[in-house]
Amino acid sequence: MNAPTSIVGQPLPRLEARAKVSGRAEYVHNMRVPNMLHAKVFRSTLAHGRIRSIDVGAARAMPGVFAVYTGEDIRKLIAEPYYGPAFHDQPILAIDKVRYVGEPVAVVLAADVHVADNAAALITAQYDELAAVYGEVEAMNSRAVVHEVLKPAGTFADLKYLKDKRDTNIALDFHLRRGDVKKAFAGADHVFEHTFTTQQVLHLPLESFATIAEPGDGSLLLHSSTQSPSFVRTEIARLFGWPDNKVRVKVPYLGGGFGAKVYVKSEALAAACAMLARRPVKYALTLEEQFYMITKHATTLRIKSGVMKDGKITARECEVWWNGGAYADIGPRVTQKSGFTAPGPYDIDHVHIDSYALYTHLPPAGALRGFGIPQLVWAYESHTDMIARELKIDPLAIRRKNILREGRPQATGTPMKDAALELVLERLATRMQWDKGFDKGTGTVKRGRGIAIGFKASISPTTSMAIVNISADGSCALYSSTVDMGQGSDTAMAQMVAEVTGIPIEKITVVHPDTDVTPYDMATLGSRSTFHMGHAVKNAAEDARDKLYALARDVGLSGETTLIPDIFRKKYGMLAGNIVGVGSFIPGYTPPNADGQTDNATPFWMIGATGAEVEVDTETGEFKVTRLVNLVDVGKPINPAIMETQISGATVMQLGFTLQEQMHFTNGQVTNASLADYKIPGIRDIPPMENEAVDAEQRSGPFGAKGVGESGTFGVSPAIANAIDDAVGVRLTSLPLTAEAVFRGLAKKAGRELL
């Protein structure tokens, strides 16, 4: 066997690169199986209503239609057809009530997808309209209630207190108390309070949600575009009352995920249809239908700080209202697990956080690249600059003064460890040449610059398992349920196996998630895979290597120096057998007490900062981002090339959410559900960008690495808003940032009234 190479840290191309550039990579949306039916859904046109009747007669009569089902048909198959990761609140098809425009009400199956589509358009429904609530703050005390009774999933001990709660839209309230905020406010030289909002947006992976469900004999095979195969298996099995092993979930590549495809999405309906029809069923959504599946929380954030003359922040109070839409999805976890970072990466002794997950009559909101963090950073980093401006302190100086230093406790009381906040801030300052003069522009074109820094805790505690299988010929397979949705996990994990075993990467394959074959993994989300699955993979590879060496010793050879085939040949007399190494990982974690305090809130911290330069036209309010500098702490990167693509990809996505993307609604109906009316960034929308991972190490991480998929999003929105303020003295507090908003701000400053 060869000595370990140094393959971790190399910018290798993706393992599947050839398949992707030649159009041969497999995605569920493009798959078909023999004898398959297509499912097309009829959706609610009302935000809130009691279902009086559903008329499926015309649809059923259409030639070529195999079947039409409603919630009542599903209920005959599954007594309690409600699913969800935190709450069992979402019906497979609406039952009794509809709770948002776009909610699936009935489904048509046909062998021809166009027949299914046309038949679905013939379905009608009668409702008794009920009052609806759309705003997250309004939902706190609204008479319109989305769910009569809360139904937390039994699996979460910390949600038990919500069971059977009635007549509230608050799905979860999270509170953190540290120090004595009241006293600190009283003793502060200044108190600042600002309110910010963010808009509802969505993921829009170019491959929409898709599941093909093949029924067996009391079992199901699902091919699905999911980021969480293990969860899907357990949840679908629970719905049918089966053991886990009756459901098999297979995942090829994903055409993007970004948090959209976690937990159950298209799977439950496909599975139910397949069991009712006893035929394979494909439920593939159009891009337009993504607007009705899952979105990112709109939020309102109030933040109040006590500050001393010199800029030292002594107290902070945060209130965050998350607009979760009609079904909780993972929103309650966003409220908690991101909520505790709401005061920002600053050393503040007295902190008070209230964070509320709210039900409203809008399409559900879940996790989107950052798990709530970009909304929080938007508020606290805008707030930081507003304070600095009032106190006439430089924006960099106020951050330097307050930044959380290594070893200091964060709001939860957990000390910061391997969190290169200071270094990221300093590198950003250097790259922006912050201490040099800055050309503020002339005439009607003014220039400005801004910075922002944010951080995120990895969701804890979560588990990953992996298997490394070495064949007698010296080739090797890694079995892992991590889903490669474009982030390059297959390649990074294979690099780790190669590093540990010394087997060349060309001889390593990564077996894609297949719950009958690949072991459990919590999910591919929240930038957790490099760290958690990385550890499991490293452990499995080490186990395999140790077993191989032991086998070699058994037959009087040295594992270090003998070629792998020779070891097997000597043992089995021919090229036969294999070595199986297993690995698992769960990080340490201490659950927070009633005040949200814990000494171990997270296994690692992600850090991201952005510097922006802008040009603003003072006559029209139009502005252009002329430079973006992105700094992150990713520990030691496993694959620097893929890592950089992740940083810039995340930044551009957040740039879309900052400048152009917004779901528009009329009476709960989204009115811009297409790429024609909802513009995502194209190649001409990309400003000059620089990305840098600071020289850091996550000592507790595999090979010093940690997650990177979201860090590029953190600072983008506030950095740009701060730069606009720097240029023209207009402060925007709502996303997206538009020319109109700047124009209105300029007019207001000039004392002009606008309609």
Partner 1 sequence: MNTTRTITFTLNGAPVTTTVGLHQHLVEVLHAQGLTGAREACAQGLCGCCTVLVNGIAVSGCLYLAVFADKADVKTIEYSPEGKLDAVQESFIECGAFQCGYCTPGFVLMVRQLLDEQLDPSDDDIKHYLAGNLCRCATYPEVVKAVKLAAKKRKVAA
Question: What backbone phi and psi angles, to 5 degrees, belong to 540?
Answer: -65, -40
Burial 578-614 (b: 16+ CB within 10 A, else e): ebebbbebbbeeeebeeebbbebbbbbbbbbbbbbbb
Q: Give the integer Cα–Cα distance in Å for 171 and 356.
A: 8
Q: Give the integer Cα–Cα distance in Å for 338 and 455.
A: 10
Rounded (5°) CA angle 343-347-352: 40
Minimal distance in Å, beta carbon 618 to partner 1?
Answer: 27
Closest C-alpha to 713, from 379, 395, 375 = 375
Strand partners, 542: none
- Contacted entry of partner 1, ligand FES, none for residue 699, CB cut-off 5 to 8 Å set by kind: none
Amino acid found at 361: H
- Contacted entry of ligand FES, partner 1, none for residue 91, CB cut-off 5 to 8 Å set by kind: none
Contact call for residue 280 and ligand FES (CB under 6 A): no
Closest C-alpha to 8, from 476, 538, 469, 473 = 538
Closest C-alpha to 288, from 670, 656, 31 = 670
Return the sign of the alpha-carbon dihedral for residues 82, 86, 87, 93.
Answer: negative
422's CB contacts (< 8 A; 6+ apart) are 403, 405, 406
Closest C-alpha to 14, from 458, 614, 491 = 491
Does 461 sit behind a cis peptide bond, omega within 30 degrees of 0 on the bond before it?
A: yes
Minimal distance in Å, beta carbon 433 to partner 1?
Answer: 22
Task: Collapse the DSSP code of 27 into the 3-class scheme (helix H, G, I; strand E, B; otherwise coil) and give the result.
Answer: strand
Contact call for residue 487 and partner 1 (CB under 8 A): yes
- Contacted entry of partner 1, ligand FES, none for residue 18, CB cut-off 5 to 8 Å set by kind: partner 1
Question: What backbone phi and psi angles, to 5 degrees, belong to 231?
Answer: -65, -45
Minimal distance in Å, beta carbon 338 to partner 1?
Answer: 23
Q: Indicate which single residue of 1, 27, 342, 512 sits in contact with partner 1 (rule: CB under 8 A).
A: 27
Angle between helices 529-554 and 489-501 (to 10 degrees): 30
Minimal distance in Å, beta carbon 231 to partner 1?
Answer: 21
The nearer residue to partner 1, 402 or 651, going by C-beta atoms, is 651
* Inter-residue contact 475 to 563 (CB < 8 Å): no
Closest C-alpha to 135, from 375, 319, 322, 290 = 322
Contact call for residue 575 and ligand FES (CB under 6 A): no
The residue whose Cβ lies closest to ligand FES is 206
- Contacted entry of partner 1, ligand FES, none for residue 624, CB cut-off 5 to 8 Å set by kind: none
- Contacted entry of partner 1, ligand FES, none for residue 23, CB cut-off 5 to 8 Å set by kind: partner 1
The stretch among 2-10, 56-64, 643-651, 716-724 that binds partner 1 (CB under 8 A) is 643-651
Q: Indicate which single residue of 49, 91, 256, 704 sits in contact with ligand FES (rule: CB under 6 A).
A: 256
Q: Indicate which single residue of 2, 4, 32, 576 sits in contact with partner 1 (rule: CB under 8 A).
A: 32
Q: How many CB atoms lie within 10 A of CB 113?
A: 15
Q: Identify whether 615 is a catalytic site residue.
A: no
Task: Collapse the DSSP code of 105 into the 3-class scheme (helix H, G, I; strand E, B; otherwise coil) and give the result.
Answer: strand
Contact call for residue 345 and ligand FES (CB under 6 A): no
The nearer residue to ligand FES, 257 or 366, going by C-beta atoms, is 257
Q: Give the integer Cα–Cα distance in Å for 209 and 211.
A: 7
Contact call for residue 662 and partner 1 (CB under 8 A): no
The nearer residue to ligand FES, 454 or 486, going by C-beta atoms, is 486
The nearer residue to ligand FES, 347 or 490, going by C-beta atoms, is 490
Q: Indicate which single residue of 125, 204, 249, 508 sits in contact with partner 1 (rule: CB under 8 A).
A: 204
The nearer residue to partner 1, 168 or 491, going by C-beta atoms, is 491
Q: Indicate which single residue of 1, 56, 467, 652 sits in contact with partner 1 (rule: CB under 8 A).
A: 652
Q: Classify residue 699 by its DSSP letter.
A: T
The stretch among 33-41, 202-210, 379-387, 472-480 that binds partner 1 (CB under 8 A) is 202-210
The nearer residue to partner 1, 203 or 350, going by C-beta atoms, is 203
- Contacted entry of ligand FES, partner 1, none for residue 57, CB cut-off 5 to 8 Å set by kind: none
Q: What is the DSSP string of 545-582?
A: HHHHHHHHHHTT--TTTS-HHHHHHHHHSSS--EEEEE
Q: How many CB atoms lie within 10 A of CB 405?
A: 11
Contact call for residue 209 and partner 1 (CB under 8 A): no
The nearer residue to partner 1, 27 or 549, going by C-beta atoms, is 27
Residue with tokens 């954030």: 301
Exactly one of 615, 710, 740, 753 is catalytic; which is it?
710
The nearer residue to partner 1, 385 or 490, going by C-beta atoms, is 490
Can you read off the two tokens belonging to residue 86? 């935190």
The distance from CA 176 to its chain's CA centroid, rounded to whole angstroms, is 23
Chain positions 154 to 213 lying near ligand FES, rule: CB under 6 A, are: 206
| Residue 73-112 contact track with partner 1, rule CB under 8 A, x = bound | ----------------------------------------
The nearer residue to partner 1, 288 or 319, going by C-beta atoms, is 288
Q: Give the integer Cα–Cα distance in Å for 237 and 243.
A: 6
Contact call for residue 104 and ligand FES (CB under 6 A): no
Q: Indicate which single residue of 486, 488, 603, 715 sits in contact with ligand FES (rule: CB under 6 A).
A: 486
Contact call for residue 258 and partner 1 (CB under 8 A): yes
The nearer residue to partner 1, 25 or 140, going by C-beta atoms, is 25
Closest C-alpha to 259, from 189, 335, 203 = 203
Contact call for residue 488 and ligand FES (CB under 6 A): no
Angle between helices 421-432 and 395-402 (to 10 degrees): 160
Contact call for residue 709 and ligand FES (CB under 6 A): no
Binning the chain into helix, strand and coil, the percentages to the nearest 5 are 30, 25, 45
Minimal distance in Å, beta carbon 641 to partner 1?
Answer: 5
Minimal distance in Å, beta carbon 37 to ligand FES?
Answer: 23
* Residues contributing to the site for partner 1 (CB under 8 A): 11, 13-14, 16-27, 29-32, 114, 203-208, 253-258, 286-287, 485-488, 641-642, 645-646, 648-649, 651-653, 674-676, 680-684, 686, 689
Q: Which residues bind ligand FES (CB under 6 A)?
A: 206, 256, 486
**Catalytic site residues?**
710
